[in-house]
Amino acid sequence: MSFSLYIFIGLFLLCICLLGVLALRLARKIRQQQRDLGGLSESLQRSREDAAEQKNRLAERSDLDRAKDEFISTVSHELRTPLTSIRGALGLLSSGLLGNVDTRAQNLLRIASTNTERLIRLINDILDLERMESGRAPVNVRRCSLYDLAREAVDSMSALAEAAQIRIELNSYAAHDSIYFNADPDRILQVLTNLLSNAIKFSPPVSTVSVQIEANAEALSLKVVDRGRGIPADKLESIFDRFQQVESSDSSKKGGTGLGLAICRSIIHQHGGVIWAQPNQGWAQANQNEAMTKHGNPGTTFCVQFSRNARVGDSILPVAATDVTERGEGLILVCDDDPGIRTVVSEQLSRHGYDVIEAGSGEEVIALAREQAMRDAPSPAISAILLDHYLPGLSGWETLRQLKNSPTTAAIPVIVLSVSSPSERPLLVGEAQGWVQKPYNEDLLLAELGRVLKARAKAVKISKHDFRTSRLTV
């Protein structure tokens, strides 16, 4: 009896053990699944939260914009008010009306007051820039004379110039009526005054700052030339950024805020224009090697150029020469008798997406242009011609004339590349669609090419619909 009982009990225990193990396994599995489920719901929860956050952020952004605008107006009031009081108090103290001030105290007062003025100027500049870039600064466009504005700027700077022993000369190389353009005169005056003030600040005594105005059918430009220490090549672009000064230790003595040029750029861009700086190539600078030390300062030229086709206020930051990001399209014929220049220009154009063919003489240009025009549609027609003005054999002038006189080639836009400025060559100017002065700024060349091609595309579109005109408007 007992033996089978033991076996039965044993088996029973075994079953219980097995069941136990199974139960444990099951339990573990269940726990695992629960964990997974938990994880799943966690991630579901997370993504729900993310979506909500995203929605909030979008809402926040427009709130942020509003807040920013409000902030700017608030700052405008809140920062300036205490400064006005400080300035007033310092003025009273240093005037001696409240009792004598000894020389040491007087000196300290002077320091406090100079820095207060700087702070005020800085705040004004920051707010100015912010308002302009956010589009909130109203622009009052009127018909202006660049010469008159330049004259006004020069006159306002005359006292400063005299104190620094600097002579300012103003010359216009433009026909009288070509200096008129559409702009906000106060803003332009602000730019001119700023450029002149910089030129005076950084010029050595007994030197001349020269202001030159030039104009042609396509553009109106103004240059401020100084004979100062110059700007290092790697800083020529960045000086137009905010809070950039060429030599901070030097400029802080001269009281700059570091925003002047950023504001100038903003204003000029709003007017559809371009502003840049280039070093003057002095003789000693051009020839400098270890053997030769240069003396004196060739200086810097600040250039401002307004394209006549741009409309003021069209976009806050229109395509300026410094941000040509659009890829180009089309076949460009480049003509220059200097193979080096041809190579460089071709390289620049190809990098930008254009196809390029080269010509080394006027005759070649005419031949190529005619050939392209006579081919059937599938082969690409020349989109534009870059023509060097100074050519051997058939001159640039003659080449241009022949191109325009022949109906097959007259429609091709021509941009003249010349060391002369357009005002020196008025005859050529009338026939050409664009002008780039050598040595040229690559971005300016690309911008000019882009502009000319756009204008042509527009004109072609218009003329296609207008059956009454017998000529293609170029």
Partner 1 sequence: MRRILIIDDEEDIREVAALSLEATAGWEVATACNGADGLRAAANSRPFPDAILMDVMMPDMDGPTTFRLMQQNPDLAGIPVLLLTAKVQGVDQRRFAGLGVTAVLFKPFNPLTLAEQICEKLGWKE
Partner 2 sequence: MTETNSDEKTASLLAAMWLRNRPLVEERLALLDRAAAATADGGLTDELREEASHTAHKLAGSLGMYGYDEGTRIAREIEVLLGDATPDAARLGNKAAELRRAIFPGA
Answer for which of 68, 142, 167, 176 binds partner 2 (CB under 8 A) is 167
Count Cβ atoms below 10 Å from residue 218 Cβ, excluding itself: 21
Burial of 71-92, coded b for 16+ CB within 10 Å and e otherwise, reads: eeeeebeebbeeeeebbeebee
Omega of the bond leading into 82 within 30 degrees of 0 (cis): no
Answer for which of 41, 84, 281, 287 binds partner 1 (CB under 8 A) is 287
Nearer to partner 1, 47 or 165 (CB): 165
Q: Residue count at the site for partner 1 (CB under 8 A)?
A: 16
Amino acid at 90: L
Identify which of 266, 275, 181, 282 has the alpha carbon closest to the alpha carbon of residue 229. Answer: 282
| Cβ atoms of residues 153 and 186 within 8 Å | no
Answer for which of 19, 26, 292, 317 binds partner 1 (CB under 8 A) is 292
Q: Shortest gap between Cβ of 357 and partner 2 (angstroms)?
A: 53
Q: Find the binding residues for partner 1 in span 329-388 (CB under 8 A).
A: none
Q: Shortest gap between Cβ of 280 and partner 1 (angstroms)?
A: 11
Residue 464 binding: pick among partner 1, partner 2, none (C-beta 5-8 Å cut-off by kind): none
Q: Is 294 among the residues that bind partner 1 (CB under 8 A)?
A: yes
Q: Is 206 among the residues that bind partner 2 (CB under 8 A)?
A: yes
Nearer to partner 1, 294 or 461 (CB): 294
Q: Find the binding residues for partner 1 in span 199-238 (CB under 8 A).
A: 206
Answer for which of 288, 315, 408, 473 binds partner 1 (CB under 8 A) is 288
Q: Find the binding residues for partner 2 in span 426-465 (CB under 8 A).
A: none
Q: x/- binding map, residues 110-149, to partner 2, per CB under 8 A?
A: ----------------------------------------
| Cβ atoms of residues 214 and 418 within 8 Å | no
Count Cβ atoms below 10 Å from residue 385 Cβ, excluding itself: 24
Answer for which of 4, 103, 249, 289 binds partner 1 (CB under 8 A) is 289
Nearer to partner 1, 243 or 283 (CB): 283
Residue 167 binding: pick among partner 2, partner 1, none (C-beta 5-8 Å cut-off by kind): partner 2
Residues 240, 396: Cα–Cα separation, whole Å: 36
Residues 150, 302: Cα–Cα separation, whole Å: 14
Burial of 398-415, coded b for 16+ CB within 10 Å and e otherwise, reads: ebbebbbeeeebbbbbbb
Q: Is 291 among the residues that bind partner 1 (CB under 8 A)?
A: yes
Q: Shortest gap between Cβ of 166 and partner 2 (angstroms)?
A: 9
Q: Is 295 among the residues that bind partner 1 (CB under 8 A)?
A: yes
Residue 283 binding: pick among partner 1, partner 2, none (C-beta 5-8 Å cut-off by kind): partner 1
Nearer to partner 2, 158 or 165 (CB): 165
How far, in Å, are 219, 279, 353, 436, 452 from residue 447 at the CA level? 13, 21, 13, 10, 9
Q: Is 165 among the residues that bind partner 2 (CB under 8 A)?
A: yes
Count Cβ atoms below 10 Å from residue 151 Cβ, excluding itself: 15
Residue 471 binding: pick among partner 1, partner 2, none (C-beta 5-8 Å cut-off by kind): none
Identify which of 154, 175, 158 has the alpha carbon closest to the alpha carbon of residue 424. Answer: 175
Query: What is the DSSP track for 81-143?
Result: HHHHHHHHHHHHHHHTTTS---HHHHHHHHHHHHHHHHHHHHHHHHHHHHHHHTT-S----EE
Residue 165 binding: pick among partner 1, partner 2, none (C-beta 5-8 Å cut-off by kind): partner 2
Answer for which of 205, 340, 378, 392 binds partner 2 (CB under 8 A) is 205
Q: Which residues pair with 143 in a beta bridge?
A: 182
Fill in the DSSP letter of residue 327: P
Nearer to partner 2, 140 or 165 (CB): 165
Helix (H/G/I), strand (E/B), else coil: 382? strand
Answer for which of 283, 317, 329, 339 binds partner 1 (CB under 8 A) is 283
Residue 47 binding: pick among partner 2, partner 1, none (C-beta 5-8 Å cut-off by kind): none
Q: Residue count at the site for partner 2 (CB under 8 A)?
A: 4
Identify which of 255, 251, 197, 186 has the alpha carbon closest to the alpha carbon of residue 224. Answer: 197
| Cβ atoms of residues 172 and 213 within 8 Å | yes
- Which residues are at the interface with partner 1 (CB under 8 A)? 206, 282-284, 286-296, 298
- Which residues are at the interface with partner 2 (CB under 8 A)? 165, 167, 205-206
